[in-house]
């Protein structure tokens, strides 16, 4: 059974959860963390090893849209910054003139990689080409690229790839394979080139011509000119038939067999991608990733300064890790090449916490419990999409390694705090940050309790390690 998602918004993500849970249930495995993909693929699992351990990556959305930054001719273009061309229906001939103004003299690839490292992130994914069709790398397939079409003339991806190689950071490329608003054959530009599909539902653009002349050659360039590519992050697979998707998969597998394919190619990738900013309600043993914004846009907008606080970032990261996933958190650099200072500061604050408490995150597996995630409304209430309403709990999360459970508290736990019932004997309880023992006692009902000092040592998030006999929790 497959458990693929559809790209984009929340309804798809909810299906992802439901379908994945159905897959887990159908295979007779009650706890998602024990689940294996129905068709175990050793080559895929081998490719995925670093990804499963990494847990936390930096997404970077950077392109021509950083110049208008949400405004076109003095008019606000609501929505996502990188969608400006579409939302304001900017003709290709006008939009492409932004290239002549792209000169980010403060761009410093090493500083970006340093930010990711300070933040505790283990991989970077940058937009090589977004839906607007502009390539942030030197391309022979299209002169609409950062080297040939701008006064800047520097290959942004090359500089970033070199900085990543110097600093031991994995680098992947976002590539919009289907939408390309610059090309008559690409999907999505209805204002210059008319609808993608006719009234009969049939394609009315030379989509395969676009794929073969631009998208496929550019993906080949990405895989041959920038050293090892950690992953290719495809997106919004409109009109991406299995056959067309397979052409991209073959290019990736042939040129770099270790490169991961995300969950939005249109054919099966190496891991599942949730909807944008969507965190599933339950754990899964299948590799997955939530792409997320640090404010509300991916590409820079001057009017969006609603940055997620460090504590919020940490909750989301640990929530995701406790469900078996990865957190790919985005920043949107400005037109001058700098990443907004406030977003950097919040990432670094979370990163300082991770330097102390990273053992609970990196290479950690999901919760063996699940009760802590919350529960469906017992009154049968429905959410805005008409699905059963899930009422999340956010008090604590647990991540796991063999013989160890990491309880991360985001609020003061009750004293004593009762560990969910498990058969294994608890041997030691201690605070991760300073190793200080936490008194505990075994209850008669199989529930061990411990008492954490008040106020808890780190009000943002305090980790308590529970060491137990055996390597896996038995319930």
Tell me which residues touch ligand H79 (CB under 6 A). 8, 79-80, 82-83, 235-236, 276, 291, 298
**Closer Cβ to ligand H79, 13 or 251, answer by number:** 13
Q: H-type helices in 170-326, by residue range?
A: 190-193, 207-210, 216-225, 242-255, 310-321
Intra-chain end-to-end CA distance of the chain, in Å: 27
Least distance from C-beta 248 to ligand H79, angstroms? Answer: 17
Instruction: Output the smallest distance, CB 294 to ligand H79, in A.
Output: 13
**Nearest residue to 326 (alpha-carbon basis) of 371, 258, 280:** 280
Closest CB to ligand H79 among residues 83, 373: 83
Find out whether 265 and 249 touch, Cβ atoms under 8 Å.
Answer: yes
Identity of the residue, 177 or 256, whose beta carbon is nearer to ligand H79 in the bound complex? 177
As a whole number of angstroms, the distance between CA 131 and CA 85 comes to: 9
285 Cβ partners below 8 Å, 6+ apart?
24, 29, 32, 33, 34, 35, 36, 324, 366
Nearer to ligand H79 among residue 10 and residue 44 (C-beta): 10
| Paired tokens of 259 | 């490169």
What CA–CA distance (Å, rounded) separates 399 from 322?
5
CA–CA gap between residue 289 and residue 215 (Å, rounded): 24
- Identify whether the C-beta of residue 226 lies closer than 8 Å to the C-beta of residue 175: no
Is the CB of 120 or the CB of 291 nearer to ligand H79? Answer: 291
Nearer Cβ to ligand H79 (35/66) = 66
Nearer to ligand H79, 31 or 238 (CB): 238
Q: What angle do CA 38, 273, 314 make, to 5 degrees?
A: 115
CB of 356 to ligand H79, least distance (A): 30
DSSP state, 187? Answer: B
Q: DSSP letters along 324-373, please?
A: TEEEEEEE---TTSPPPHHHHHHHHHHHHHHHHHGGGTTT-B--S--GGG
Count CB-CB contacts under 10 A for residue 185: 20
C-beta of 185 vs 291, nearer to ligand H79:
291
Least distance (Å) between residue 110 CB and ligand H79: 25
Closer to ligand H79 by Cβ: residue 291 or 333: 291
Question: DSSP 3-state assignment of 382?
Answer: strand
207 neighbors 185 (Cβ within 8 angstroms): yes
Which residue number, 80 or 187, has a Cβ lying nearer to ligand H79? Answer: 80
Residue with smallest beta-carbon separation from ligand H79: 8
Cross-strand partners of 375:
391
Closest CB 8 distance from ligand H79, rounded Å:
4
What's the min distance (Å) between Cβ of 157 and ligand H79? Answer: 16
For ligand H79, the closer CB: 8 or 457? 8
Q: Measuring CA to CA, how many Å separate 359 from each of 150, 298, 327, 344, 407? A: 44, 29, 16, 23, 12
Beta-sheet pairing, 417-418 with 426-431: unpaired
Whole-Å CA distances, 428 to 357, 397, 467: 18, 19, 5
């Amino acid at each position: 059974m497959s458990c693929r998602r559809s790209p984009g918004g929340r309804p798809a993500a909810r299906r992802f959860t439901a379908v994945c849970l159905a897959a887990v249930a159908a295979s007779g495995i009650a706890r998602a963390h024990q689940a294996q993909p129905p068709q175990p693929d050793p080559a895929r699992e081998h490719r995925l090893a670093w990804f499963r351990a990494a847990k936390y990556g930096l997404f970077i959305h950077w392109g021509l849209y950083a110049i208008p930054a949400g405004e076109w001719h003095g008019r606000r273009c609501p929505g996502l910054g990188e969608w400006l061309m579409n939302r304001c229906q900017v003709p290709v001939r006008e939009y492409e003139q932004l290239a002549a103004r792209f000169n980010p003299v403060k761009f410093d690839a090493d500083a970006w990689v340093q930010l990711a490292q300070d933040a505790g992130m283990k991989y970077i994914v940058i937009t090589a080409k977004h839906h607007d069709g502009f390539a942030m790398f030197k391309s022979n397939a299209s002169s609409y690229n950062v080297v040939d079409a701008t006064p800047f003339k520097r290959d942004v991806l090359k500089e970033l790839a070199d900085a990543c190689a110097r600093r031991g950071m994995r680098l992947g490329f976002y590539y919009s394979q289907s939408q390309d608003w610059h090309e008559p054959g690409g999907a999505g530009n209805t204002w210059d080139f008319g609808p993608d599909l006719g009234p009969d539902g049939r394609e009315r653009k030379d989509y395969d011509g676009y794929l073969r002349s631009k998208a496929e050659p550019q993906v080949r360039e990405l895989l041959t000119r920038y050293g090892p590519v950690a992953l290719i992050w495809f997106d919004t697979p409109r009109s991406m038939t299995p056959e067309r998707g397979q052409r991209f998969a073959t290019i990736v597998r042939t040129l770099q067999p270790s490169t991961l394919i995300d969950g939005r190619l249109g054919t099966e990738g190496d891991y599942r991608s949730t909807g944008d900013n969507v965190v599933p309600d339950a754990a899964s043993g299948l590799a997955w990733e939530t792409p997320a914004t640090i404010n509300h846009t991916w590409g820079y907008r001057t009017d969006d300064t609603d940055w997620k606080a460090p504590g919020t970032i940490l909750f989301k990261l640990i929530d995701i890790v406790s469900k078996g996933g990865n957190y790919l958190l985005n920043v949107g650099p400005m037109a001058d090449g700098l990443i907004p200072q406030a977003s950097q500061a919040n990432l670094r604050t979370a990163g300082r916490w991770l330097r102390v408490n990273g053992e609970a995150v990196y290479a950690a597996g999901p919760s063996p419990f699940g009760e802590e995630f919350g529960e469906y409304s017992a009154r049968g209430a429905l959410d805005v999409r008409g699905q059963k309403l899930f009422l999340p709990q956010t008090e604590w999360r647990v991540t796991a390694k063999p013989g160890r459970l990491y309880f991360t508290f985001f609020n003061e736990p009750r004293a004593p705090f009762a560990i969910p019932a498990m058969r294994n004997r608890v041997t030691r309880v201690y605070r991760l940050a300073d190793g200080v023992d936490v008194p505990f006692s075994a209850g008669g009902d199989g529930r061990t309790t411990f008492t954490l000092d008040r106020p808890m040592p780190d009000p943002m998030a305090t980790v308590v390690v529970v060491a137990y006999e055996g390597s896996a929790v038995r319930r």
